[in-house]
Amino acid sequence: ETGVTQSPTHLIKTRGQQVTLRCSSQSGHNTVSWYQQALGQGPQFIFQYYREEENGRGNFPPRFSGLQFPNYSSELNVNALELDDSALYLCASTDTGYEQYFGPGTRLTVT
Amino acid sequence: DAKTTQPTSMDCAEGRAANLPCNHSTISGNEYVYWYRQIHSQGPQYIIHGLKNNETNEMASLIITEDRKSSTLILPHATLRDTAVYYCIVRVAWSGAGSYQLTFGKGTKLSVIP
């Protein structure tokens, strides 16, 4: 158990819709990162938030956005969903900077 | 960050040592070697990391060659619960705000056989 939770576990959306995924980090973890994992691939870095500010972004379009809140929770929002957005979405939090703690992920299916 | 090369898959008998190799021939002097694993349907889990000295913790040992161009993760007594995809990641030490970004490859699928 990493102490990082994500909701929902599974989600089915239609192309063009918008989705919000949620992550709850351990208390004191001021950094949260989001990753997308397509089937059979390793996770790909989407972006990171540090103390409620975006602190780095991978090669993902602006329709992927996020928020981090003072209570160590965070959100990943995806607008205008595409079929290729179907994936496992993972959040990871840390306080030390070297060990990141991953949640179990949200499985998103876009039809 | 330096690129890594890992075998696609490996088998190991239960109770034996599992030795997972990783090649990182372009590693720079300030880059660390990290290992994470991902058990089916779960998020990745940190295992160990090192710079140039061998490291050991309660989960595994990390052996880095003297030229640092390759490393081996050792699980001393593999169990069925160690069946997972193991990722070797090389990246610079993080000194800025927040934390480092992880760049995952496809990893090595380790199957522990009863």
- Give the Cβ contact number of residue B104 at 10 Å: 20
Res B111: pLDDT: 98
Nearest to A74 by CA among A17, A105, A19, A31: A31
The 3-state DSSP composition of chain A as helix, strand, coil percent (nearest 5) reads: 5, 50, 45
Structure token digits, residue A32 = 């949260």
pLDDT in tens, A53-74: 998 899 999 999 999 999 889 9
Whether A22 shows a pLDDT value over 70: the answer reads yes
Contact flag B94-A98 (C-beta cutoff 8 Å): yes
Contact flag B98-A2 (C-beta cutoff 8 Å): no
Cα radius of gyration (chain A): 13
CA distance linking residue B112 with residue B79, whole number of Å: 7
Contact flag B45-A2 (C-beta cutoff 8 Å): yes
Residues pairing with A25 in the sheet: none
The chain-wide mean pLDDT, for chain B, equals 92
pLDDT in tens, B81-114: 999 999 999 987 666 667 778 889 899 999 999 9
Can you give the length of chain B in residues?
A: 114
Res A99: pLDDT: 86
- The distance of B37 to chain A (nearest Cα, Å) reads 11
Whether A98 shows a pLDDT value over 80: the answer reads no
Mutation test of the interface with chain B: which of A25, A100, A101, A106, choosing the one with the most B Cβ atoms within 10 A?
Answer: A100
Contact flag B99-A97 (C-beta cutoff 8 Å): yes
Contact flag A4-B43 (C-beta cutoff 8 Å): yes
Contact flag B45-A100 (C-beta cutoff 8 Å): no
Chain A residues lying within 8 Å of B106, measured CB to CB: 40-42
Chain A residues lying within 8 Å of B104, measured CB to CB: 35, 42-44
The lowest-confidence range among A87-101, B2-16, B78-92 is A87-101
Whether A27 shows a pLDDT value over 90: the answer reads no
- The distance of A105 to chain B (nearest Cα, Å) reads 6
